[in-house]
Amino acid sequence: MLTTSNLILPGTLAIREINGRNGPFRVGTLQTTIGDFAIKDPILDQYDEGKYDGQFQIERIYQGHYIAGGRSVTEIRAKLADMVIEDIDTEAPVPIEAEPDPIDIEKQEPVPVKDKTEPASKSIPEKGTEENTDDDSLFGLLMPLGDKVKLDASVDRKDLRLQIERLGELGYEFDAKTQTWNKPSVH
């Protein structure tokens, strides 16, 4: 595994949606000058299918694998630390391949040991307490939701998908360039 904290590359991120047994999810392929990388970050579930040009900060590059449709696939993956989207083409065709849901892959892979100096990730409060509504439980420290919401990709992938779905129900719209969910102003 190559760990890098400041490798910033121009590239194109092609995102596609796949319907898995846990519901729809999105994966991407990042094409850069140093190679192509599979992207399995949960944050991609916010984006529409298409191609996104921009600057991508790569946190680490590593080998990953999965088994699907009677075949074993090994791929080079990149973990994104940040990205700045400069151009969006949601009309561009993105090739579709059979691929397992990342939630199922995460169950098979060993959990990485976190550095003890890292801050603990935010956890979502348990449901069932009287003072917490369902949205309080789902969004945790993000509550109360403002006009702009930036989701935390470190929460559990299932919770992130539920947050994305709920923001859509509440009328928020995702802006890929700012990577925020915005509530349209009422005139």
Q: Which amino acid is at 153?
A: A
Nearest to 15 by CA among 41, 32, 4, 6: 41
Q: What does the pLDDT read at residue 95?
A: 60
Highest mean pLDDT of the ranges 4-13, 35-44, 67-76 = 35-44
Q: What does the pLDDT read at residue 8?
A: 93
- Determine the average pLDDT of the residues in 105-131: 46
CATH 2.40.50 in the chain: give the residue spans.
2-108
Asked whether the beta carbons of 59 and 43 are under 8 A apart, the reply is no
* 2-108 fold: OB fold (Dihydrolipoamide Acetyltransferase, E2P) (2.40.50)
Q: What percent of the chain has pLDDT over 70?
A: 74
Q: What does the pLDDT read at residue 121?
A: 40
Report phi then psi at 102, rounded to 5. Answer: -55, -25
| pLDDT, greater one: 109 or 100 | 100
What Rg value do the Cα atoms of the chain yield, rounded?
Answer: 17
Per-residue pLDDT band for 105 (boundaries 50, 70, 90) equals low
Model pTM score? 0.64
Nearest to 100 by CA among 60, 64, 62, 56: 64
Per-residue pLDDT band for 185 (boundaries 50, 70, 90) equals confident
Hey, CA dihedral for 128, 134, 138, 142, is it positive or negative?
negative
**Which segments within 43-175 are labelled E, that is strand?**
50-68, 71-89, 148-149, 173-175
Confidence check: pLDDT of 112 > 70: no
- Determine the average pLDDT of the residues in 107-111: 53
Q: What does the pLDDT read at residue 54?
A: 95
- Average pLDDT over all residues of the chain: 80
Query: How many Å apart are CA 121 and CA 102, to the nearest integer?
Result: 20
106 in helix, strand or coil? helix
Tokens of 143: 């509550």
